Structure 1
Amino acid sequence: MSVILVVNSGSSSFKYQLIEPESEVRLANGLVERIGEAVGRVVHVSGGQRTETEAPIADHTEGFARMLAAFADAGRPLSEYTLLAVGHRVVQGGDRFFAPTVIDDAVAAEILALSTLAPLHNPAHHQAIVAARQTFPDVPHVAVFDTAFHQTMPPEAYTYAIDADLAAAHGVRRYGFHGTSHQYVSEQAAWFLDRPADTLKQIVLHLGNGASMCAINRGRSVDTSMGLTPLEGLVMGTRSGDLDPSVLFHLNREAGMDVDDLDHLLNQRSGLLGLGGHADMRDLRAAAAEGDTRARLALDVYVHRLRHYLGAYLLELGGADVICFTAGVGENVPALREEVLAGLDWFGIHIDPERNREHSRGVRRISTEISRTTVLVVPTDEELEIARQTAEAILAVPA
């Protein structure tokens, strides 16, 4: 059986999935974590069975060896499959990478060089790419970039109003993230509606612990809420989203906070956690229901920011054919969807309360029949999108 291995790596862990590209069936998945710690852990799921082992894992190379052992221990060694390619998620592609890219030494070096724009992500991706290429030297490796889908944004959408020469010298612009999810969801919406994606104006709300929105005009990203980094835009689980930059100067002068303190504040101690004491939407809503005023304010700020961007994108697109909710919060919190879209009848957006409360693993419509804008809940699948783009990339390479 021909398969694609999808790898999503972090500095001390990586997730993997084995996908058969023709059927798009997920044959196995797993997690290798605590790399470099005293005791590492490997979780492997295949054939309905879950196994877990613990042992020291020195680095990503040993992590891949442990993954191979997990496949063998589960009764189906990876060597029994025909491995077509390994697809790697890479967060930051800068303005260099517009599409899934077959990795050679030069591409790997560029991914590492882009660490200046993504210091928490790209070094880890590079580690895993090096280790995976050593482990699987005879198959192509493909990088799929979170930023690539947003490379169609026009200059007025991605340009910051700072000194132009300084910005150009240091790559300061808006790149956007969650691109694989936004692309997958918008394509699934078009499939569900039996409409070509290039005929639709869509707004996708990817709402998880990290959150972003994207305005998509005829299949092309024209604006998105995240910027140079994933910190800009919406209120998130622990990230602040949009903020007056002078807040940082003020806290530096008045609270004595240095650059590292401020980085930690905005990325780890802000958002829903900083406002309401809970990063998890379920815990926050439960606290608000019990009368916690801080939790209620956090929810109100969260919704306000979503409506702010929704209004901007409706104006930018000249209306929307489709609005999609996706990711953990977007897919599973009906009350939030109602709050975000409340009072938009004059935009022609009407939610059916019963449809909105239904749960399904597939794409579902939650708008009424008279709604001019179709509102959908679309489960995202970034790993499947990476597998699809990996398959396209290797087919495009001349033999």
Structure 2
Amino acid sequence: MWPGVRGEHARMFRKLQEKFCKTGKEAMAINFDDFVEQVRDASPIEKVLEEGGIHLRGHGRLLTSTKHDSMKVRTDMQRVWWYSQNWNGDVFGWVMKEKGCEFMEAVEILARRAHIEMPKLQAVNESEVKRIRATADVFSVAASVFHRWLMGDEKLGITADPDALAYAKGRGWADETIKAALTGFSGRKTPEQYKDMKGEFSLYGIDPLSPAAVAVLGFEGNIDQWAKDQGVRDHEDFDEEWILKGRIHGLMDTPGLIYAHQHHGGVKYLSRRQLPGCDKIGTKPWKSFNPYKLLAGPKQVYWNQAHRVDQPLICVEGPGDAITWGQWGYGAMAFCGLLGDVTQVAPEEAERMRRLGASIGKHPAVYLQLDNDEAGQKAIRLAAKLLGPKVQIVQMSKAYSREDAKADTEESNDAE
């Protein structure tokens, strides 16, 4: 059973960069990612459910089905959870579930509903579509498991990891912030944790040997045979070093915080920030890890838990800073090392950066808050070049320290 199809759908067609559709009398270039988001924006999930006979009660961001008490709708995340059926998904996933159709047909159905004309598209690589959908499912399931390893789960008898939780709270994050960001812990490679993760994968019909699952679990053994079985042996991103080492490093292989890169109500990507004491290879610093591209797809930016497109946006370097801004009530996005000069990178990467710049530009105000070191200043220049005159540069005062933030958080928790 799939846990639902999420906001990552637009990634399925990242290779369909510039296609064409008719608007009025003119032919205009349209990016398919943008088209999917246009259809999503025109298809509020609560309205689509109501039109399909699912009546909802409640006010604000949380609604409940009048017929199915276990069906909850988060209007702010544009997502439905149907707990009795162990299912959750976005508006495209709901249509796929109800109509028994594939993603493209769901897009067409919702586009017709919104009176939006479909662009003329080239043939889609169905195997690539299935692979990316599977990756989205794996990351959404894994993010929930990682989160309970960090925070604990009384019902499942899982205790919070004290060191990982202390590290997270040492950044001044309150429990509510950690939960909203779906921040997790990669675990300590215990047999119980592998059993827990694999069990959750099995519950949702996820193959533990699939590339996306290996990005989480890691793999040791006959890499060559595994790659052939998965159809990735001849892929351009396959690393021959994996065969020499006899293993592929996964997110669970080193203790660290797991950042769930969420956008449009779904988990697009997972990355890891090593815990202190696990952040070096020999004497060389090793602060973070991103899953291999072959297994997880391209690296993604990080949108925080407070992000709204109709609100100002703070652009920062890493997910930790973005989460902190979210705790303060500000929407933020972390570049995660994805800034570059569009004139100096491959066309595919340049197009991704331009799309990112367009997404950022939709916000009413954009602020850059990057480090004051040499790398940060270089990033500011690149970001300013990408975003244009709309961007404003912010410098943080050192008068309010991390210790101050931690003290304020403790005081707030005590008050509650």
Mark yes or no: TM-score above 0.5. no
